[in-house]
Amino acid sequence: MAAAPLRVLACGDVEGRLETLFGRVRAIQGKSGRFDMLLCVGNFFGSTSETEWAEYRTGAKKAPIPTYVLGANDQETVSFFPDVSGCELAENITYLGRRGLYSGTSGLQIAYLSGTESQDEPAPAYSFSAKDVAELKTSLLSTPSFKGVDILLTSPWPRDVGTFANSAYLYAFSIVPMSLMDPAELVKQPQDVTENPYRKSRKEAQKTKAPLCAEEEPACQFFFDLDKHQGKKRPSDGKERGNSQPKQAKKPPQPTGPCWFCLASPEVEKHLVVSIGTHCYLALAKGGLLPDHVLILPIGHYQSVVDLSSEVVEEVTKYKSALKEFFRSKGKRYVLFERNYRSQHLQLQVIPVPLDHCTSEDIKESFIVQAQEQQIELLEIPEHSDITQVAQPGTPYFYVELDTGEKLFHRIRGRFPLHFGREVLASEALLALPQRADWRRCAAERAEEAAQARAFRRDFQPFDFALRA
């Protein structure tokens, strides 16, 4: 009889937000059933977490699941970890230690390495060195019966780990300890696996000097701290490795029929356009949730953000920055969402929300709660991550981004409510405009639309980088 798999949750930087973390764990378990453990990497504690932590340390509150954490990543949080070899910090919360191997009663084996990478010997209490890596490796390989570990935990990103991965705030998976697996089953490739992110040429491997980080990158920091190139596609100057010939710029795909959003298309309602850049333009939304509800759109035909060229991505980023500054000048923050589902042209919906009406946490919670009510798994992804790391071209998805950089993501695998983004923002918890959740009920006369566009264009002019180009 095959062994039952363990159900595991993993997360990155908690930064002392224990109530937020464990609240989400409870919500997930309420929806999906009990999990066996929670593994935390990155910063578990924050510089201001003492008050919240005291309730767990004294037993006033208890973690809802056995939780295993790595050690400090900076000097400010070293004091939270009294024993370098690992100990129980509170009921159901265990510090694994500086480095070593954790063997659970289930047979699961977890190798771990705490802290950030350091070039110093000996490394500070919140770091590890190349010597620490070598000693951990030696201790594992010296065991006569060693065949491998089930899980490796480190706070920094291993090089290339983001390739093909869904880097979610909370990631759930099932695993059978290899000690309980049949040898034939152990080497069998499971279904639905991605490509190996660590595969590289021998030439590239010879260039790698640091144990976990690329030599041309600064020392890696926390679990969600990607390298300096994250969030951007490679420049299209043709100077890629192993290729001395410049490549021709890739042309965007052409629409298969009439497109309402390609700027050169006769179907575009140009009276709604308020700004035109080199690769993108800005237009008021037809039937907008609010009079200043706008869309960021590529001039050429692209289906989603993950299909964009680097030049278009750069200009989208400029429009985001300009809109953030514009709305903040009016006492508002923006919420951006994209629905890459049953649409042929990318539309980034940008909707302002008054700053004094709700916080960014209120907005995130509204999306998460209403997603759970509709059995939609909406996950928080790292602030410094890029959407191209969690979705491949052609993948249907729903994506939310706040002007603080916080992001939520749902991979669509079946049916999805077309008006979900507007419904959340129109709900009583946020804008309290439920009657405007469906854009078709918000139609206005062309003259009124044109007047709104002129007013927006006039107000936005001081922030419009396209006018200064």
Q: What is the pLDDT of residues 423-452, one digit of tens each?
A: 999 999 999 999 999 888 898 999 999 999
Average pLDDT over residues 246-265: 63
C-beta atoms surrounding 378 within 10 Å: 21
Q: Considering only residues 266 and 344, tell me which one the structure prediction assigns the higher pLDDT.
A: 344
Confidence (pLDDT) at 198: 63
Confidence (pLDDT) at 215: 28
Q: Cα(411)–Cα(390) distance, rounded to whole angstroms? A: 9
Q: SS3 for 373?
A: helix
Average pLDDT over residues 70-76: 90
Q: Cα(56)–Cα(131) distance, rounded to whole angstroms? A: 35
Q: Which two tokens stand for residue 16?
A: 């002392």
Confidence (pLDDT) at 244: 36
Please report which confidence band the pLDDT of residue 254 belongs to, taking 50, 70 and 90 as the band edges. Answer: low
Q: SS3 for 171?
A: strand
Confidence (pLDDT) at 251: 55
Please report which confidence band the pLDDT of residue 208 belongs to, taking 50, 70 and 90 as the band edges. Answer: very low
Q: pLDDT of 445-461, one tens digit each?
A: 999 999 999 999 999 99
Long-range CB contacts (< 8 A, 24+ apart) of 84-93?
84/125, 89/57, 90/56, 90/57, 90/59, 90/62, 90/63, 91/56, 91/59, 91/62, 91/63, 92/62, 92/63, 92/64, 92/65, 92/66, 92/67, 93/56, 93/63, 93/67, 93/69
Dihedral Cα 164, 168, 174, 175, nearest 10 deg: 60
Q: Which residues pair with 400 in a beta bridge?
A: 337, 408
Q: Is 217 a residue whose pLDDT tops 70?
A: no
The DSSP element (H or E) to which 333 belongs, if any, is strand 332-340
Q: Which two tokens stand for residue 404?
A: 């603080």
Do residues 81 and 71 touch, judged by C-beta distance below 8 A?
Answer: yes
Confidence (pLDDT) at 1: 54
Q: What is the mean pLDDT of the chain?
A: 82
Do residues 215 and 209 touch, judged by C-beta distance below 8 A?
Answer: yes
Tokens 């993948």, residue?
A: 395
Nearest to 2 by CA among 189, 187, 186: 186
Note the pTM of the prediction, 2 decimals: 0.50
Q: Cα(10)–Cα(173) distance, rounded to whole angstroms? A: 8
Q: Cα(87)–Cα(91) distance, rounded to whole angstroms? A: 11
Average pLDDT over residues 46-66: 86
DSSP state string for 256-324: SS--SS-TTSTTS-GGGEEEE-SSEEEEEPTT-SSTT-EEEEESS--SSGGG--HHHHHHHHHHHHHHH
Do residues 397 and 411 touch, judged by C-beta distance below 8 A?
Answer: yes
Query: What residues contact 33, with CB distance under 8 A and at least 6 apart?
Result: 7
Report residue 64: phi and psi, to 5°.
-75, 0
Task: Please calculate the CA angle 29-35-38 and round it to the nearest 5 degrees.
Answer: 105
Q: Is 348 a residue whose pLDDT tops 90?
A: yes
Confidence (pLDDT) at 387: 84
Q: Which of 61-70, 92-101, 197-206, 398-407 has the lowest mean pLDDT?
A: 197-206
Cα 201 from chain centre:
28
397-402 and 407-411: which strand pairing? antiparallel
Q: Which two tokens stand for residue 122?
A: 């000996």
Tokens 């890596």, residue?
A: 133
C-beta atoms surrounding 300 within 10 Å: 20
Nearest to 193 by CA among 164, 218, 214, 168: 164
Q: pLDDT of 95-121, one tens digit each?
A: 999 999 998 888 899 999 999 988 888
Confidence (pLDDT) at 199: 61
CA distances from 421 to 49, 371, 376, 381 (A): 33, 10, 12, 17
Confidence (pLDDT) at 111: 94
Q: pLDDT of 153-191, one tens digit each?
A: 998 876 666 555 564 467 888 999 988 887 777 766 665
Q: SS3 for 360?
A: helix
Q: Which of 258-262, 399-403, 421-425 has the lowest mean pLDDT?
A: 258-262
Average pLDDT over residues 301-324: 94
Report residue 276: phi and psi, to 5°.
-130, 120
109-113 and 99-103: which strand pairing? antiparallel
Confidence (pLDDT) at 266: 76
6-11 and 170-175: which strand pairing? antiparallel
Confidence (pLDDT) at 243: 40
Q: pLDDT of 356-398, one tens digit each?
A: 888 999 999 999 999 999 999 998 887 677 888 888 888 999 9
Q: Which residues pair with 9 in a beta bridge?
A: 38, 172
What is the share, in percent, of the chain residues with pLDDT greater than 90? 49
Task: Please calculate the CA angle 401-403-409 and round it to the nearest 5 degrees.
Answer: 10
Domains of the chain: 6-207 (3.60.21), 270-467 (3.30.428.10)
